[in-house]
Amino acid sequence: MSTLGNSTNIFWHECPVGNSERQKLLNQKGCVVWITGLSGSGKSTLACSLSRELHSRGKLSYVLDGDNLRHGLNKGLGFSAEDRTENIRRVGEVAKLFADAGLICIASLISPYRKDRDACRAMLTDANFIEVFMNMPLSLCELRDPKGLYKLARAGKIKGFTGIDDPYEPPLNCEIEIQEKDGVCPSPSTMAGQVVSYLEDKGFLHQ
């Protein structure tokens, strides 16, 4: 009598309908648009605006929002370095499945550690992982503070808050960087348009 251990005695099962068939059906190419940045930098705003723009063009996308996922898939995880890594790993695996299904998966998470984002990139072919860096200054994010979290962190009521007492490691070679221009933040539609233009240029919006 033997028992199954973790990830042993298991085999990958291929199905006759593959990625290319699904992409042909949808007339688009699956990919992951990974939006990273500080809390309050506009990640969720961009994700929703991008999803809306793609929908208006007849393109199928799905948003994986970091906060939303902590209500279910990642409900039991905290904010230690180890839990943050596992949080990102799980989202990366789910995003990979959506991309394989032929969808444009929009993942919106702070994802502060470079090695964790790079690990998600390594799950796909490099061209299918599009890292979008919301490069907004901490002062602006703290001024916005839509959830009141910076105020709590400054008061010492939240520990390990990214940008305050836990580091954010910016991307070194992201595909898209969004930032202020002459002190003015781009509008949601402008940000979405920048990403859509990239997807169009790289051939993701047609098969």
Q: According to the 3-state scheme, what is the secondary structure of the chain?
A: CCCCCCCCCCCCCCCCCCHHHHHHHHCCCCEEEEEEECCCCCHHHHHHHHHHHHHHCCCCEEEEEHHHHCCCCCCCCCCCHHHHHHHHHHHHHHHHHHHHCCCEEEEECCCCCHHHHHHHHCCCCHHHEEEEEEECCHHHHHHHCCCCHHHHHHCCCCCCCECCCECCCCCCCCCEEEECECCECCCHHHHHHHHHHHHHHCCCCCC
**Active site positions, annotated:** 111
The per-residue b/e assignment along 118-137, b for 16 or more CB within 10 angstroms, e otherwise, is: eebbebbeeebbbbbbbbbe
pTM of the entire structure?
A: 0.92
pLDDT in tens, 127-157: 999 999 999 999 999 999 989 999 999 999 9
For residue 106, which of 58, 40, 62, 41 has the smallest C-alpha distance? 62
Residue 4: both structure tokens together: 């199954």
Average pLDDT over residues 158-185: 93
Average pLDDT, the chain: 93
pLDDT in tens, 78-123: 988 899 999 999 999 999 999 999 999 999 999 999 999 999 999 9
